[in-house]
Structure 1
Amino acid sequence: MAIQLVTDQLSNVLDDTFRSQLVGNFKAIENALNDLDAAQTTLNSGQDKINHDFKNIKDDNKTRDANVQAIVNILNKYDVPIQIANGKVVEIKEGE
């Protein structure tokens, strides 16, 4: 939304027209600032949600990695040739 302020059309005389033009300008500026404030609040809320979701993903990844490591450890106890290499579970040859 474009805001049109009265600028070079301001009256040269300090009369009611001049006052009305100034008041109109201030109201337009106030509305624009309020819109910006509301938009900033919405952005902050969205950023908070993104940060919360990202934290949950990181926590889920840590839990998954710990579970995979636990499974590999259990399988190693039973001499299953398996290990984690480069973040992946891989089968290993006997003697490695």
Structure 2
Amino acid sequence: MAIQLVTDQLSNVLDDKFRNQFVGNFKAIEKALNDLDAAQTTLSSDQNKINQDLNNIKNDNEIRDANVQAIVNILAKYDVPIQIVNGKVVEIEEGD
């Protein structure tokens, strides 16, 4: 919604209409600033939540990778032909 402020249509005489036009302008500006402030608060909150979610995903991935590596290490101790290649668990040929 576009806000039309009274600017060049002001009266040359300082009267009630002139005062009311200025008061109206300030009310419109105040509302727009409050709306922007509320939007900024919401955006900051959303950004913080997204950053936390990304950190959680990163931590989960690190834990998963460590668990997969631990499983591969255990299986390798029992001579199971397995290893991680390019981030994937693969079966290897005996004697490699």
Question: TM-score over 0.5 for the alignment?
Answer: yes
Counterpart Cα distance in 1 of 2:37 and 2:10: 28
Look up the match of 1:73: 73
- Structure 1: 5+ residue stretches without partners: none
Look up the match of 2:5: 5
Look up the match of 1:44: 44
1:58 alignment partner AA: K
2:85 alignment partner AA: A
Counterpart Cα distance in 1 of 2:2 and 2:68: 56
SS at match of 2:89: strand
Look up the match of 1:15: 15
Q: Runs ≥4 in structure 1, deviation > 3 angstroms?
A: none
1:64 alignment partner AA: R
Matches within 5 A, 1:51-62: 51-62=51-62
Counterpart Cα distance in 1 of 2:82 and 2:13: 89
Deviations 1:20-71 (A, max 9, x none): 1011101100000000000000000100110111111000000000000000
Look up the match of 2:82: 82
- Aligned-residue CA RMSD in angstroms? 0.7
Alpha-carbon shift at residue 7 of structure 1 (Å): 1.4
1:48 alignment partner AA: N
- Give the number of aligned pairs: 96
Query: What is the TM-score with the length of structure 1 in the denominator?
Result: 0.96
Identity of matched residues, %:
82
More divergent stretch after superposition (16-25 vs 65-74): 16-25
